[in-house]
Amino acid sequence: MTTNTSPFLLSLRNVHKSFGGNHVLHGLSLDVPAGHVVTLIGASGSGKSTLLRCINLLEPIDDGAILVDGTDISSPGYDANLARRDIGMVFQSYNLFPHMSVLRNITLALKHVAKSDAASSKQAAMDLLSRFGLADKADSYPEQLSGGQQQRVAIIRAVALKPKVLLLDEVTAALDPELVGEVLDLIAELRTTGMTMVLATHEMSFARNIADTVCFLHAGDILEQGPPAEVLDNPRNERTQQFLARTRRS
Amino acid sequence: MPRWDRVKQSFFSGEQFADSFPRLLEAFVLDLKIFAWSVPIILTFGMLVALTRVSRNPALFPIRALCVIYVDVMRGVPVLLWIYLIGFGIPGLGLDRPWNSPLLWGTVALCLTYSSYVSEVFRSGIEGVHESQRAAARSLGLTHLQTLRLVVVPQAVRNVVPPMMNDLVSLQKDVALVSLIGPIEILRQAGIDKAKFANFTPYVVAAVIFLCITVPLTRTADWLMARERRRKGGTRVAT
């Protein structure tokens, strides 16, 4: 186990991932300092979701390393459950547990992973729900909520464990357009608390507003990265230019 | 129907009905007891087999293979045949009491066959829980076993309550098959009454008593299924 000598909270080193013969991630590297927000843009199939799933160890990587606080969590034998405590993840389809109330969705991991007692788990969950305007939904079940509310609960569920980094995978892609705003507002508010985030998105204006760094993914590698003003307004790579031209047309 | 009078006399004799009813009801208690003993065993064992079959741990491969064979073999033979084979076969080993009881081994045969049916129902329920639920649970740091216990199994059980009820209704009826190896439960008692009074009415009595249990169970299963459909179904298509 390496000690913390890395200036970056999250580092990907030459990450490779294949599904059968399909080489999805091609030696991808990325460094994320603490408190930074990185947005991943790119066409469907460019590897954004796979990258996020690999960081969360939901997919084992074939080669390379994933370092969180300087520790290689992808090394064989490293306890994935331990690593995941530091890495929150939110999915496109919310994935709330339908058989549990909003409150229990949030307290589940507090009780069973963080081993908090019932009272303090509930307190922590209620604090977060109140802060994000969902306190009155604590006893509701996911199916009784709108998509936007469900996704906000899913974000709160991930944040409740106080992860070091939060991964957001196209979290607004399944939402009706009028519900996108409330979810993006919540993410923007998390940014002000200094939460380190890596998010895949199709919302270019959001990517521009929230990101410290924008990464353009193509065929499993980062072709271009930099501040939003550079990558989104003055892309140097031809493929980035093509991709952005396509998104502007649509 | 030239012989209706005779059929009426031998199947629908009011006098015989009144005479047999209390005796058969009493015998039916044994059916209920066998049912009540069997259900928890079947549900537990069925769930264990289902969990083993869906496990992905390579170390469990031999046990997984055994479970597949067990389910195939139990499901592939009629219940009655298993009751004969196990219920006559094992007491035939000459074990001491109480291990030589056909009632015991008949019940074991029922449990073994129904556990295999029920394990398949549970398995379909577990596989019906979307992979994204597992991903969400694991991403929160829950272990594989916690994910099963807290997220997957509760949803799987909820999904399979209606088909499970159907299996339990079948079990309630198949309990009567144990009578064929000796124990005096309702069907056996009806046979005894029939022989004694040379009248078939006791069978009708037995049927009525069974219906009193199985019809409410079936209705409940239907109601649960309809509720589940409404919950999941969204908007109904008119025609």
Query: Other C-beta atoms within 10 Å of A65: how many?
Result: 17
Which of A78, A95, A105 best probes binding to B when mutated, by most B CB atoms within 10 angstroms? A95
Q: Which residues does A147 contact at the CB level (< 8 Å), separation at least 6?
A: A94, A174, A175, A176, A179
pLDDT band at B55; cut points 50, 70, 90: confident
Say yes or no: B69 contacts chain A, CB-CB below 8 A. Answer: no
Mean pLDDT of B92-98: 81
DSSP helix/strand/coil, A79? coil
Tell me how long chain A is: 250
Q: Which residue from B70, B79, B46 is spatially nearest to B164, judged by alpha carbons?
A: B46
Least-confidence region, from B25-29, B72-76, B90-94: B90-94
Say yes or no: A87 contacts chain B, CB-CB below 8 A. Answer: yes
Q: Which residue from A83, A129, A81, A87 is spatially nearest to A104, judged by alpha carbons?
A: A129
In a domain, A3, yes or no: no
The verdict on a CB contact (< 8 Å) between A112 and B136 is no
Provide the pLDDT for residue A122: 95
In a domain, A227, yes or no: yes
pLDDT band at B224; cut points 50, 70, 90: confident
The partner residue sitting opposite A95, judged by closest CB among B133, B141, B158, is B133
In a domain, A108, yes or no: yes
Q: How far is A151 from chain B (nearest CA, A)?
A: 13
Q: What distances in angstroms separate CA A234 from CA A30, A38, A39, A211, A230, one per listed residue?
A: 21, 18, 17, 16, 5
Rounded distance between C-alpha atoms, residue A13 and residue A17, angstroms: 12
The verdict on a CB contact (< 8 Å) between A97 and B137 is yes
Cβ contacts (< 8 Å) between B132 and chain A: which residues?
91, 93, 95
The verdict on a CB contact (< 8 Å) between B150 and A108 is yes
Q: Which residue from B119, B113, B148, B109 is spatially nearest to B47, judged by alpha carbons?
A: B119
Higher pLDDT, residue B72 or B226: B72
Write out the E strands in A20-62.
22-32, 37-41
Tally of structural domains, chain A? 1
Q: Which residues does A194 contact at the CB level (< 8 Å), separation at least 6?
A: A34, A35
In a domain, A1, yes or no: no
Cβ contacts (< 8 Å) between B231 and chain A: which residues?
143
Provide the pLDDT for residue A165: 95
Cβ contacts (< 8 Å) between A88 and chain B: which residues?
139-140
In a domain, A218, yes or no: yes
For B234, nearest residue in chain A (alpha carbons): A143
Rounded distance between C-alpha atoms, residue A12 and residue A14, angstroms: 7
Cβ contacts (< 8 Å) between B140 and chain A: which residues?
84, 88, 108-109, 113, 157-158, 161
| Run means of pLDDT, 10 residues per run, chain A, 250 residues | 69 92 91 94 90 94 92 90 93 94 96 93 95 93 93 96 95 89 92 94 88 93 92 90 84
Task: Kindly list the strands in the beta sheet with A71-72, ordered across the sheet, starting from the edge strand earlier in the chain.
Answer: A22-32, A10-19, A63-68, A71-72
In a domain, A4, yes or no: no
CATH number of the domain residue A62 falls in:
3.40.50.300
pLDDT band at B233; cut points 50, 70, 90: low
Mean pLDDT of B191-202: 90
Cβ contacts (< 8 Å) between B143 and chain A: which residues?
81
The verdict on a CB contact (< 8 Å) between A95 and B143 is no
Rounded distance between C-alpha atoms, residue B139 and residue B133, angstroms: 10
Residue A62 is part of which domain span? Answer: 10-249
Residue B228 has pLDDT above 80, yes or no: no
Q: What is the ipTM of this complex?
A: 0.90
Cis geometry, peptide bond prior to residue B40 (ω within 30 degrees of 0): no
The verdict on a CB contact (< 8 Å) between A161 and B140 is yes
Rounded distance between C-alpha atoms, residue A186 and residue A210, angstroms: 11
CATH ID of B4-233, from 1.10.3720.10, 2.60.260.20, 3.30.70.980, 3.40.50.1970? 1.10.3720.10
Q: How far is A87 from chain B (nearest CA, A)?
A: 8
Which of A112, A143, A153, A171 best probes binding to B when mutated, by most B CB atoms within 10 angstroms? A112
In a domain, A42, yes or no: yes
Place of tokens 């064979």: B69
